[in-house]
Amino acid sequence: MYASREEFKDTVTAYAMQIARVITFRKCGLKRVKAVYSIECPFWLYAVKIGEEDTWQLRSMNLTHTCTQAHKAFKKKVESNPKVKIRELVSKAQKKWNLTVTKSMATRTKQIALDEIQETFREQYKGIYDYGHELLRANPGSSVRIQRPTAGDERQSSRIHLSRKEEKQRCSICSSVGHNKSRCPKPIEDEAQHSKKLSKGKQKKGSIKS
pLDDT digits over 131-190, tens only?
777 877 888 777 767 666 555 554 444 444 445 444 556 677 777 766 666 667 665 544
User: Which H or E element spans position 27?
Assistant: strand 24-28
Domain ranges of the chain: 5-118, 168-198
Confidence bin at 197 (pLDDT 50/70/90) = low
Average pLDDT rounded to a whole number, residues 34-56: 82
User: Residue range 196-202: average pLDDT?
Assistant: 61
- Cα–Cα distance list, 90 to 86, 96, 99, 194 (Å): 6, 10, 9, 54
Q: Which of 61-75, 78-92, 175-189 has maximum average pLDDT?
A: 78-92
- Least confidently predicted of 64-73, 87-96, 150-159: 150-159
CB neighbours of residue 126 within 10 Å: 9
pTM for the model: 0.35
Confidence of residue 207 (pLDDT cuts 50, 70, 90): low
99: which residues sit within 8 A by CB, 6+ positions away? 11, 15, 45, 58, 61, 93
